[in-house]
């Protein structure tokens, strides 16, 4: 059955089918998520463990090393890196790509549970799988009290967590007053014993006389804070020694907690603050639940805030990029429609015919959206990018079918026969064209890297859209064939006559053209192979990120005053730089920022959002950075960056990893390398973990301790009451269930530590200075490991040079440094670039072989595919031209464009060779046959090429957010189509004549 003929006879049925698909696409669109990046399973997990009060070296020895030994034995683990900081050990685990992350993480947890016995008491490692939902989808500042709306935010269906930055954990703190303790003659060491039992204990089950079973629960909890204040904590004159020997005072006078201590709800461990536009504000961070729709989540939050009339300022909004991408797709769709319509209108001079062809673009996208739903794909920057790139190609198949039906109607055929013969005659060609475009992406299925995993989504939506266009072209255009009118245009006839003359001359000099082409391919190939390389281009956005650093001992309160200098400078010149908002995150504002972002009290992050168009804020951002570099800020060192999401994922342009045992030697060599790189003007260079901090070091004298009537363990226990506090359960308060901590006084100064009184066995007070030596010790603020070995990182944070140039300079510097047994490796974006080029080489070769195999199968020949495939090497000429013309380095976007070209550049040659093959004869007019067949294909080739190029021009010239990624892809495809179209029109016919395409088949 000829589907095209059936469609031509039943246009109403086709219309109903298309309307049904439109309805389905509407339903599918409602169910597709709108995300920033695809929801893929990332092969990473973080293991972190806290050990309060421990220094960097203690964390390294007691926590990090035992955990690393266990992690190294877990199957499926590829690499692991760690950071040991005061009180915290963080280990980032990288799994092999393709493993079941959930299964490997469960195995990792089991291994760590076994290693629990090797860790200090109370240290429990936690495994967290990397999930983009851990990153905030929305953050905002407000002057309102968050308690007014925080619970309602948490109850939103797609919200997983809400965090208020700059506030500490609320606890119930009991602060014992030593003077009142002496006044009421109680022993503070007995207070914990009197306050113990603040828990609920299950005690098994009991039966009654009827055999009924009852659970037994003992509840010793304090009911509220008032009951806690009235708790008895001792008796006048009762000491620890008397209690242990059973002695009691003659008169039992109870002492209650409120008489000797302050009981209050406080924020514990406040180590940071946040400001917005120079004013202290509450910053609320919202995280979505895994699998939730980012845009929908943000909309829910904004809607609730508006309903509650909460004034707020948006700081982070992941939904903006996705919404912009959708608007960009709609813009490109409209421009694609207009460009396709104009091209078709120029060639056929009929509005109805133009409308029939132009409708193939939105209808193909509609079908693609339905297919995305069934393939579990969502809208994100990759899938939308695939659809955007496909817009210009969606009309190609429809144009080829339309032009052939148009040709048959021009020679007097009725619309049914014209639809049937015209469609069937070219359907194999357009099927081959679509199949070759799609098949080049097949090797991506077998590649395993982050970039390949991301690009699979781009390829999937591009393939679905092109596949949809094939179905639409085979049904829609034949259905509208009765309204297609044939006109002859004198202008096109002139172009056709010129082409015939030019092609005849080209065929006469085909050997010269072939030789020139080979020469250009060889020269271009050599240039491309030796071109500058990088991983991803530099991105420009409206955010300037400033990292402010002070001396290591600076507290967050002092840091806050220092950072105010920078904020005041920016806000004073707000109009000059078109500043929209200034957000300062000072110190440690959340546990998440400390674990993931490396926050510390002497560090602040200042984000400056700029207003205006892209060209304006790029210029203003550069001006702001230069002015800040020239200004002087007392006690601060500034580093600059941009809110580049992709750069945060893939790392700095280049990172040098120095591996060895002696940390001081590593730091010395790192500093030497850093100085040499800086002298070569490679950009901003920094050393990770070089900072040292002074810690208070209490060294117990064991003999003195014992002779003072104490044991070392007792010193540890009693000292905890003066520093961290001792947990004694939880308490129900108006703020919820809060932990309760017992503290003896508040130590605020170092000199108070030596005066801490410890209770000896004879009942006398012993100062800490009598049993220990209290000194200051300088240690590294952090110690990093890679696969269990100590490592120091030298980062090239920002550079105007390509990654390949940075590698050459760095290699020269490393060769000039005597590393004394220290080993090194190069990482960062350089490592991702190496993986990309290695895998891309395999992908391109495999794709080329698959294209050749597909063409051989379709044409049942080896010669015909060879002639068609000769178009592919021209891609090298196009890439070389693009690199020279636009100054690009060979990077991910250019390679993506090149891979796309491998699939689409053969399309014109397929159409050309198919007609030459069908029209070839054995008579002496073989050349005339080639010229006639080629001229018949001139119109569809020009129309498809022009529609694709014109539709991609808005993307190519775009200067909006993300254009650094999309513009190189578009230009690569545009230039590639120009070169390969010329090759298909003038060189491919010569190759067809050379190999006598179609002649042998006629024998």
Assign 168 a pLDDT band (cuts: 50, 70, 90). low
For residues 561 and 710, the model is more confident at 561
**pLDDT tens-digit series, residues 931-946:** 888 888 888 888 888 8
Most confident range (mean pLDDT) of 8-22, 282-296, 511-525 is 511-525
Residues 448 and 590 in one domain: no
Residue-number span of the structural domain to which 752 is assigned: 694-780
The structure tokens listed for 320 are 């903006």
Which stretch of 92-96, 123-127, 348-352, 971-975 has the lowest confidence by average pLDDT? 348-352
In a domain, 805, yes or no: no
Q: How far apart are CA 597 and CA 549, in angstroms?
A: 14
Adjacent-strand bridge partners of 83: 90, 784
Give residue-wise pLDDT tens across range 410-453: 777 888 888 888 888 888 888 888 888 888 888 877 777 776 77
Residue with tokens 């379709």: 858
With cut-offs at 50, 70 and 90, classify the pLDDT of residue 512: very high
Name the pLDDT band for 535 (thresholds 50, 70, 90).
Answer: confident
Q: Are 468 and 429 in contact (CB under 8 A)?
A: no
- Write down the H helix ranges in 641-772: 645-650, 663-679, 702-707, 712-722, 750-753, 768-771
The answer to the question of residue 814 being in a domain is: no
Q: Are residues 993 and 892 in the same domain?
A: yes
For every residue of 223-281, DSSP letters joined together read: SSHHHHHT-EEEETT--HHHHHHT---SS--EEEHHHHEEEEEEEES-EEEEEETTEE-
What is the number of H-type helices and E-type strands within the chain? Answer: 42, 31
Any domain includes 653: no
Task: Based on the fold, state whether residues 444 and 530 are members of the same structural domain.
Answer: no
Name the token pair of 322: 């996705």
- Whole-number Cα distances in Å, 28 to 39, 158, 369: 18, 20, 7
Q: What is the mean pLDDT of the segment spanning 866-892?
A: 91
For 788-819, the pLDDT digits (tens) are 999 999 998 888 888 899 999 999 999 999 88
Higher pLDDT, 561 or 922: 561
pLDDT at 526 over 90: yes
868 plus 766 within the same structural domain:
no
In a domain? residue 386: yes
Instruction: List, for residues 714-766, the tens digit of each pLDDT value.
Output: 788 778 888 878 888 888 888 778 888 888 877 777 778 888 888 776 667 78
| CATH number of the domain to which 548 belongs | 3.30.70.1430
For residue 1002, the model assigns a pLDDT of 43
More confident residue, 492 or 277: 277
Rounded CA gap, 393 and 360, in Å? 10
CATH number assigned to the domain comprising residue 700: 3.30.2090.10
d(CA 388, CA 159): 31
Q: Name the pLDDT band for 922 (thresholds 50, 70, 90).
A: very low
Tell me the average pLDDT of the chain.
84
Give the DSSP H/E element, type plus range, for residue 545.
Answer: strand 543-549
CATH number at residue 848: 1.20.1640.10
Q: Domain check: are 853 and 989 in the same one?
A: yes
Query: In terms of pLDDT, which residue wins out, 888 or 491?
Result: 888
Structural domain includes residue 3: yes
Are 412 and 423 part of one and the same domain? Answer: yes
Checking if the pLDDT of 643 tops 60, the result is no
CB distance 32 to 383 below 8 Å = no
CB 61 within 8 A of CB 779: no
- What is the per-residue burial (b if ≥16 Cβ within 10 Å, else e) of 584-610? bbbbbbbebbbbbebbbbbbbbbbbbb
Q: Is residue 686 part of a domain?
A: no
Does residue 166 lie in a domain region? no
The pLDDT tens digits for 46-57 are 898 888 778 888
**Cα–Cα distance for residue pair 353/477, rounded to 1 Å:** 9
Phi/psi for 710 (5° steps) reads -125, 165
- Structural domains of the chain, count: 5
Per-residue pLDDT reduced to its tens digit, 564-604: 999 999 999 998 999 988 988 888 776 666 656 667 788 88
* Residues 844 and 884 placed together within one structural domain of the fold: yes
The predicted pLDDT at position 133 comes to: 61
Residue where one domain finishes, among candidates 452, 467, 485:
485
Q: Is residue 524 in a domain? A: yes
Segment 856-885 mean pLDDT: 89
Kindly give the residue spans of alpha helices, DSSP state H, lying in 115-197.
150-154, 178-183, 191-195
Give yes or no for residue 872 having a pLDDT over 50: yes
- Which pLDDT does position 1003 carry in this prediction? 39
Of 516, 506, 515, residue with least CA distance to 992 = 506
Flag whether pLDDT at 514 surpasses 60.
yes
Q: What is the pLDDT of residue 42?
A: 77
- SS3 of 693, please? strand
Q: What is the 3-state secondary structure (H, E, C) of 513-528?
A: HHHHHHHHHHHHHHHH
């Amino acid at each position: 059955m000829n589907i095209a003929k059936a469609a031509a006879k039943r246009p109403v049925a086709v219309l109903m089918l298309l309307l049904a698909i439109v309805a389905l696409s509407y339903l599918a669109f409602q169910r597709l998520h709108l995300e920033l990046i695809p929801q893929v399973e990332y092969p990473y997990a973080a293991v972190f463990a806290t050990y309060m009060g421990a220094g960097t070296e203690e964390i390294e020895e007691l926590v990090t090393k035992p955990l690393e030994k266990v992690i190294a034995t877990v199957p499926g683990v590829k690499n692991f890196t760690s950071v040991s900081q005061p009180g915290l050990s963080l280990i980032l685990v990288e799994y092999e790509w393709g493993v079941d992350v959930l299964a490997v993480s469960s195995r990792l947890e089991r291994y760590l549970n076994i290693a629990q016995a090797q860790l200090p008491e109370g240290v429990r490692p936690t495994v967290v799988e990397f999930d983009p939902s851990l990153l905030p989808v929305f953050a905002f500042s407000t002057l309102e009290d968050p308690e007014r709306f925080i619970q309602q935010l948490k109850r939103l269906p797609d919200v997983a967590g809400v965090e208020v930055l700059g506030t500490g954990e609320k606890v119930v703190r009991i602060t014992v007053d030593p003077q009142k303790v002496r006044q009421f003659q109680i022993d503070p060491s007995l207070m914990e014993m009197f306050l113990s039992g603040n828990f609920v204990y299950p005690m098994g089950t009991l039966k009654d006389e009827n055999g009924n079973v009852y659970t037994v629960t003992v509840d010793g909890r304090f009911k509220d804070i008032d009951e806690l204040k009235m708790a008895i904590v001792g008796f006048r004159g009762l000491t620890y020694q008397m209690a242990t020997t059973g002695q009691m005072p003659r008169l039992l006078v109870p002492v209650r907690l409120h008489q000797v201590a302050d009981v209050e709800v406080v924020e514990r461990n406040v180590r940071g603050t946040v400001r917005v536009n120079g004013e202290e504000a509450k910053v609320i961070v919202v995280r979505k639940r895994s699998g939730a729709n980012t845009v929908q989540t943000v909309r829910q939050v904004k809607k609730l805030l508006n309903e509650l009339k909460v004034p707020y300022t948006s700081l982070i909004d992941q939904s903006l990029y996705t919404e912009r991408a959708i608007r960009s797709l709609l813009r490109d769709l409209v421009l694609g429609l207009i460009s396709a319509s104009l091209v078709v209108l120029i060639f056929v001079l009929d509005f109805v015919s133009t409308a029939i062809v132009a409708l193939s673009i939105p209808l193909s996208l509609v079908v693609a959206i339905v297919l995305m739903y069934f393939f579990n794909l969502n809208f994100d920057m990759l899938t939308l990018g695939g659809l955007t790139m496909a817009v210009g190609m969606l009309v190609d198949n429809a144009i080829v079918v339309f032009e052939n039906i148009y040709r048959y109607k021009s020679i007097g055929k009725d619309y049914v026969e014209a639809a049937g013969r015209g469609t069937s005659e070219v359907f194999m060609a357009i099927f081959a064209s679509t199949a070759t475009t799609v098949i080049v992406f097949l090797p991506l299925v077998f590649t395993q890297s982050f970039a390949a995993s991301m690009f699979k989504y781009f390829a999937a939506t591009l393939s679905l859209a092109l596949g949809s266009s094939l179905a639409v072209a085979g049904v829609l255009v034949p259905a509208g064939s009765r309204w297609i009118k044939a006109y002859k245009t004198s202008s096109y006839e002139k172009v056709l006559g010129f082409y015939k003359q030019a092609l005849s001359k080209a065929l006469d000099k085909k050997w010269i053209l072939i030789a020139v082409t080979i020469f250009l391919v060889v020269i271009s190939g050599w240039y491309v192979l030796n071109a500058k390389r990088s991983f991803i281009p530099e991105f420009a956005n409206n955010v300037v990120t400033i990292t402010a650093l002070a001396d290591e001992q600076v507290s967050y309160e002092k840091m806050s005053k220092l950072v105010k200098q920078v904020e005041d400078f920016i806000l004073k010149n707000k109009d000059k730089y078109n500043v929209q908002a200034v957000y300062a995150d000072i110190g440690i504002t959340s546990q998440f920022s400390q674990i993931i972002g490396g926050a510390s009290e002497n560090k602040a992050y200042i984000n400056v959002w700029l207003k205006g168009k892209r060209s304006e804020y790029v210029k203003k951002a550069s001006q702001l950075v230069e002015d800040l570099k020239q200004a002087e800020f007392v006690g601060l060192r500034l580093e600059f960056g941009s809110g580049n999401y992709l750069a945060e994922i893939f790392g700095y342009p280049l990172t040098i990893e120095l591996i060895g045992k002696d940390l001081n030697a590593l730091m010395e060599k790192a500093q030497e390398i850093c100085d040499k790189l800086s002298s070569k003007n490679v950009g901003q260079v920094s050393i990770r973990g070089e900072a040292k901090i002074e810690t208070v070091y209490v060294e117990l004298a064991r003999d003195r301790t014992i002779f003072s009537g104490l044991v070392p363990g007792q010193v540890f226990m009693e000292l905890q009451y003066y520093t961290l506090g001792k947990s004694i359960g939880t308490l129900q308060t108006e703020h919820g269930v809060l932990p309760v901590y017992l503290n003896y006084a508040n130590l605020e100064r170092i000199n108070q530590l030596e005066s801490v009184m410890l209770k000896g066995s004879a009942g006398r007070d012993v100062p800490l200075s009598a049993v220990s030596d209290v000194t200051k010790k300088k240690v590294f603020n952090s110690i990093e490991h890679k696969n269990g070995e100590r490592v120091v990182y030298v980062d090239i944070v920002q550079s105007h040079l390509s990654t390949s140039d940075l590698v050459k300079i760095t290699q020269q510097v490393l060769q000039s440094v005597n590393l004394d047994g220290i080993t090194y490796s190069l990482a960062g974006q350089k490592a991702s670039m190496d993986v990309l080029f290695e895998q891309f080489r395999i992908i391109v070769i495999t794709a080329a072989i698959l294209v050749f195999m597909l063409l051989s199968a379709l044409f049942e020949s080896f010669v015909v595919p060879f002639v068609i495939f000769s178009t592919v090497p021209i891609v090298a000429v196009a890439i070389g031209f693009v690199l020279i013309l636009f100054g690009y380095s060979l990077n991910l976007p250019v390679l993506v464009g090149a891979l796309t070209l491998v699939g689409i550049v053969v399309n014109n040659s397929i159409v050309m060779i198919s007609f030459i093959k069908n029209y070839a004869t054995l008579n002496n007019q073989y050349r005339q046959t080639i010229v006639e067949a080629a001229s018949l294909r001139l119109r569809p080739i020009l129309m498809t090429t022009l529609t694709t190029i014109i539709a991609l021009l808005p993307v190519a010239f775009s200067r909006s957010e993300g254009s650094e990624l999309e513009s190189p892809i578009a230009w690569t495809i545009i230039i590639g189509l120009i070169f390969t179209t010329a090759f298909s029109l003038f060189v491919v016919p010569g190759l067809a004549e050379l190999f006598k395409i179609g002649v042998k088949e006629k024998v």
